[in-house]
Structure 1
Amino acid sequence: MQMFLISDNIDTYTGMRLAGVEGVVVHTHDELKDALQKAISNKEIGIILLTEKFGREFPEIIDDVKLHHKTPLIIEIPDRHGTGRKPDFITSYVNEAIGLKL
């Protein structure tokens, strides 16, 4: 099983290539859609890594893939600018999920 990166910047792509992860750099809605379709059609790919920017800018594409495909697993990762999430996002997520304040 392989990982595949879809990034919006060359720095993240270069870092992941050094770690042995194949990938592509895309910038537009259509490029992202095409890259996702190619990655999904490759049965060797079990995990798709996406920079968080795509989750913010094109949530409809990401959600569609997550809803209609069991594999691959899609994981949003921070890019070179860091994460766009709040510092306590994990605690907030758990609070929402179980309905208890930690």
Structure 2
Amino acid sequence: MERPIEVELPHKLGRDEAHRRIADNVHKLRDHLPGGAAAHVQSNWSGETLNLDITAMGQTVAARLDVEETKVRVRVALPGMLSFFAGPIEAALKAKGGDLLLEDKSKKS
């Protein structure tokens, strides 16, 4: 049975800057998935919503990020086999999701 996870990542960037940073950093997700280079992340923007299909170790996870003025709403639909990991995945999203997705690469050389 599918298990949804919903996390809000607060920010003070404004919608446009948060969108830009997520777009610049979405490629980093693969580095944080089991299977590393074998993992696949497909992303598609629709307005201020980023839809992701993440495939790793034979499992596909659908995720949606809604970029708002003061937060990013993350929704992840875990398939049955991964539902046992919902707690650790949710904790990791809350702890590091904002750092990973909203890091500002434009200020680094």
* RCO comparison, higher one (Cα < 8 Å, 6+): 2
TM surpasses 0.5: no
Relative to its length, the structure with more strand (as a share) is: 2
TM-score (norm: length of structure 2)? 0.29
